[in-house]
């Protein structure tokens, strides 16, 4: 549709000195960019960065005997606790789960998003919305429905029994946790992938198809590189929440594997140790932010 809108130059448009114009235009663009960025930036500074400072302050405070936060005796105790082997074990395990979840989501989502993106525009929108509809029910209720599906008397088990593999109980296994995570976060992968693939000028792919003999080569040389921004965005949107997930491992994994998300929640709630919870989340955030920025900046080349 964009092609039809592309205007043809009108004859007799005013002429200017190109250099001077470009310099002024760059300044104007910079100002305009800053103006457009201002409302969201102001919002995030006020309602995110400022509150975040409070958490940072709390991370240097002390847990009072009954779990209140004492804001006078500043120290680094909470940060020292981060070197506890328990924390390292939980962090490593969480990263492992998040990586597996992201990988499976990507493998399933890419062809899926590609399929949707190559439908006719109207069908496309309907298919896309159909992806989201299940997620407008309640997250907890959905997860509990999985419990029914995976239980030893559930449909999945009955199916394997029919196939002669005997009863299987997936519920409360690590498989169930990964399955739940993939289920929960796959839309986060599909949406950016779809947005990126749908944008690709299909004329390019067609040209490639005409030149290269194989569709596979055309895909790896043209489609995949062009869709990379979507792959990167999707991977981050799946990886990060998987790392912080706590409802899924609790409900489908029987809470037998503690992940970072659950551990942080426990600090704020049952342990009532807000300073440690704050320090923990702050460090996790800093590491994730660094990783994300590096991933985005280099992602174009390393992927």
Nearer to other proteins, 48 or 83 (CB): 48
Is residue 114 at the binding interface for other proteins, with CB under 8 A as the rule? yes
Is residue 195 at the binding interface for other proteins, with CB under 8 A as the rule? yes
User: How many residues interact with other proteins (rule CB under 8 A)?
Assistant: 154
Nearer to other proteins, 138 or 165 (CB): 138
CB 45 within 8 A of CB 37: no
Is residue 261 at the binding interface for other proteins, with CB under 8 A as the rule? yes
Is residue 248 at the binding interface for other proteins, with CB under 8 A as the rule? no
Is residue 44 at the binding interface for other proteins, with CB under 8 A as the rule? yes
DSSP string of 76-142, one letter each residue: SHHHHGGGSHHHHHHHHHHHHHHHHHHHHHHHHHHHHHHHHHTS-HHHHHHHHHHHHGGGGS-HHHH
Binding string, residues 18-37; x marks residues near other proteins by CB under 8 A? -----------xxxxxx-xx
Contact with other proteins (CB under 8 A) among 174, 175, 209, 221: 209
Is residue 69 at the binding interface for other proteins, with CB under 8 A as the rule? yes
Is residue 302 at the binding interface for other proteins, with CB under 8 A as the rule? no
Nearer to other proteins, 7 or 166 (CB): 7
Nearer to other proteins, 1 or 162 (CB): 1
Is residue 177 at the binding interface for other proteins, with CB under 8 A as the rule? no
Is residue 92 at the binding interface for other proteins, with CB under 8 A as the rule? no
Is residue 76 at the binding interface for other proteins, with CB under 8 A as the rule? no
Cα-atom radius of gyration of the chain, to the nearest Å? 25
Q: What is the distance between the alpha carbons of residues 26 and 28, in angstroms, rounded to a whole number? A: 5
**C-beta of 164: minimal distance to other proteins in Å?**
22
Is residue 268 at the binding interface for other proteins, with CB under 8 A as the rule? yes
**C-beta of 59: minimal distance to other proteins in Å?**
10
Is residue 42 at the binding interface for other proteins, with CB under 8 A as the rule? yes
Nearer to other proteins, 178 or 253 (CB): 253
Task: Name the token pair of 249.
Answer: 């491992």
Footprint of other proteins on 115-174 (CB under 8 A) = 115-116, 118-122, 125-142, 144-149, 151-153, 169, 171-172
Contact with other proteins (CB under 8 A) among 97, 178, 205, 242: 205
Is residue 16 at the binding interface for other proteins, with CB under 8 A as the rule? no
Is residue 91 at the binding interface for other proteins, with CB under 8 A as the rule? no
Nearer to other proteins, 120 or 302 (CB): 120
DSSP string of the chain, one letter each residue: -HHHHPPPPPTTPPP--HHHHHHHHHHHHHHHHHHHHHHHHHHHIIIIIHHHHHHHHHTTSEE-TTS-EESSS--SHHHHGGGSHHHHHHHHHHHHHHHHHHHHHHHHHHHHHHHHHTS-HHHHHHHHHHHHGGGGS-HHHHHHHHHHHHSTTSHHHHHHHHTTS-----TTSHHHHHHHHHHHHHHHHHHHHHHHHHHS-HHHHHHHHHHSS-HHHHIIIIIHHHHHHHHHHHHHHHHHHHHH--HHHHHHSTT-S--HHHHHHHHHTTS--HHHHHHHHHHHHHHHHHHHHHHHHHHHHH-
Is residue 233 at the binding interface for other proteins, with CB under 8 A as the rule? yes
Is residue 255 at the binding interface for other proteins, with CB under 8 A as the rule? yes
């Amino acid at each position: 549709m964009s092609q039809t809108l592309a205007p043809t130059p009108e004859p007799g448009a005013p002429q200017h000195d190109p250099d001077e114009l470009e310099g002024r235009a760059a300044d104007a663009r910079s100002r305009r960019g800053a103006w457009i960025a201002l409302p969201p930036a102001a919002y995030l500074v006020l309602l995110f960065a400022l509150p975040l400072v409070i958490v940072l302050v709390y991370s240097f405070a002390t847990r009072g005997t009954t779990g209140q936060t004492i804001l006078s005796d500043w120290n680094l105790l909470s940060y020292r606790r981060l070197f506890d082997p328990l924390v390292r074990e939980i962090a490593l395990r969480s990263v492992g789960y998040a990586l597996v979840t992201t990988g499976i989501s990507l493998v399933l989502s890419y062809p899926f998003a590609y399929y949707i993106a190559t439908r006719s525009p109207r069908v496309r929108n309907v298919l896309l919305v159909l992806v989201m509809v299940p997620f407008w029910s309640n997250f907890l209720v959905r997860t509990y429905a999985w419990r029914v599906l995976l239980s030893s008397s559930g449909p999945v088990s009955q199916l394997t029994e029919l196939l002669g593999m005997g009863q299987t109980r997936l519920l409360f296994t690590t498989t169930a946790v990964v399955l739940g995570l993939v289920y929960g976060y796959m839309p986060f992968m599909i949406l950016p992938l779809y947005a990126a693939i749908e944008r690709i000028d299909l004329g390019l792919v067609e040209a490639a198809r005409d030149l290269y003999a194989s569709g596979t080569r055309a895909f790896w040389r043209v489609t995949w590189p062009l869709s990379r921004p979507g792959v990167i965005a999707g991977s981050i949107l799946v990886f990060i929440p998987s790392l912080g997930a706590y409802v899924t491992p609790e409900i489908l994994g029987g809470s037998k594997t503690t992940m970072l998300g659950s551990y942080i929640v426990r600090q704020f709630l049952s342990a009532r140790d807000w300073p440690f919870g704050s320090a923990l989340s702050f460090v996790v955030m800093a590491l994730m932010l660094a990783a994300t920025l590096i991933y985005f900046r280099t992602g174009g080349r390393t992927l």
